[in-house]
Structure 1
């Protein structure tokens, strides 16, 4: 943990997770997907494919994706628009549909940070309400939860196309609260990018937890997060610490 926990007298009763870079390891899961997205958008032009990857924030040689970049933080519509602005000849609406379909397929070879079924079961056993809020589309989120066996332990799922708005606006977190009957101050927002932390701040989340399993670093995340942990396997320890702080 890189910071002191905020003083909050309200116990955490719910967790809203980002998906990519938070539940899934970003580079292993999304490196191949980003390359395929650029290939689709380039319409067979190899030089343009490289240009689009760079414009999206991914180093085509190392495969590393820059924190808070278009590919790290954008949804399919935003990525499509960005690719078109960077030279893609594909119609933006057609490209958005193709990218959404690609992102649904990507669940088949995603790499989880840990055994997500076990983690969600343990968190649920603590009495927590659990949700996922992602810039991916809702179908892709559900496919991921189904593949890794934790769909039944999720109380709320929101993608950019679910009608709650997009990050970093507060709509997804507010929708989670309305669905499960909590106040934002009772919710921990967990994510790997600043748009997750900013969504938490905009909604008034009780705790903003940044993880390092995605594209963000301690340097890029510390200012917007309340706490930075290595990955979601540290959540149970963190929750025990917050429980002690609220009862002290």
Structure 2
């Protein structure tokens, strides 16, 4: 598969939430729970914290590039403390991380991910996941979705490669495979994913419209826009 500047793509690094799993179906209830924990049981403050982090308390929809959509537990905790949570940021981060691991028990896949990964692997692609979620939560999601044999690399915000949108996760994936970053395509649903791809000089930044990002937020940053990861096999075949 060849993308910009003639780079031959040999590996695909996926974002998780909004890319492989439906963001709102997977995380709305967990984010409500996290906000109530952060509010120490105060329902009114929990709604304030939800709004501050990008989720509509009524509809459960999350805004593009908001804290819930793109940030990690450390950043979300600090933001919640700044907006009224009575906890210390480090304490709240630990509580949120635990809550997010629990939330990983009920992912809603975007499509038949097992079939998708088999198709991509059959096309010669090495596969990995890079998420702003914690590594333990990502690994649990992969186990629940029965993708452990297909996903050969996992990186979370706490895996030691730095957070999005820094280049570290892409660079670590490439190094893990013995590839150049230009041989990696990054697939994600928000601006942080596209910015990380560009920061690492990845071979392609592929935006998907299945998550919190919109055509308006992604088009200026993505090399290619597709509806969802289900469209990847056709994209590869066309290239």
Q: Same fold (TM over 0.5)?
A: yes
Paired residues of 1:116 and 1:149 also in contact (CA < 8 A): no
- 8 Å CA contact 1:55–1:83 kept in 2: the answer is yes
What does residue 42 of structure 2 align with?
45
1:13 aligns with 2:10: yes
The reply on whether 1:192 has 2:171 as its aligned counterpart is no
Question: Does 1:180 pair with 2:166?
Answer: no
**Runs ≥4 in structure 1, deviation > 4 angstroms?**
none
Give 2:208's aligned residue. Answer: 211
Match of 2:125 in 1: 128
Task: Compute the TM-score of the two structures, normalised by the length of structure 2.
Answer: 0.97
The aligned counterpart of 1:155 is 152
Greater relative contact order (CA < 8 Å, ≥ 6 in sequence): 1
Question: How many angstroms apart in 1 are the aligned matches of 2:132 and 2:63?
Answer: 16
Q: Which position in structure 2 is the counterpart of 1:246?
A: none
Q: How does 1:92-171 map to 2 (within 5 A)?
A: 92-171=89-168
- Structure 2's unaligned 5+ residue stretches are none
Displacement, 1:6?
5.3
Counterpart-to-counterpart distance in 1, 2:113 and 2:148: 10
Name 1:226's counterpart in structure 2: 223
Distance 2:10 2:104 in 1: 28
Equivalent residue number for residue 240 of structure 1: 237
Task: Output the TM-score relative to the length of structure 1.
Answer: 0.93
RMSD over aligned CA atoms reads 1.1
Query: What are the superposed Cα offsets for residues 26-51 of structure 1, whole Å, 9 maximum, x if unpaired?
Result: 11111111111111100011110111
Question: Does the 8 A contact of 2:184 with 2:202 survive in 1?
Answer: yes
Q: Which residue of 1 aligns with 2:76?
A: 79
Q: Structure 1: where are the runs of 5+ without partners?
A: 243-248
Indicate conservation of the 8 Å contact 1:211/1:228, yes or no.
Answer: yes
SS of the aligned residue for 2:13 comes to strand
Contact 1:198 1:224 in 2 (8 A): yes
Q: Distance in 1 between matches of 2:225 and 2:167?
A: 21
CA distance in 2, matches of 1:53, 1:39: 9
* 2:4 and 2:204 in contact (8 A); partners too: no
Matched, 1:32 2:29: yes
> Matches of 1:171 and 1:10 in 2, distance apart?
20
* Contact map agreement 2:4 2:203 (CA 8 A) in 1: no
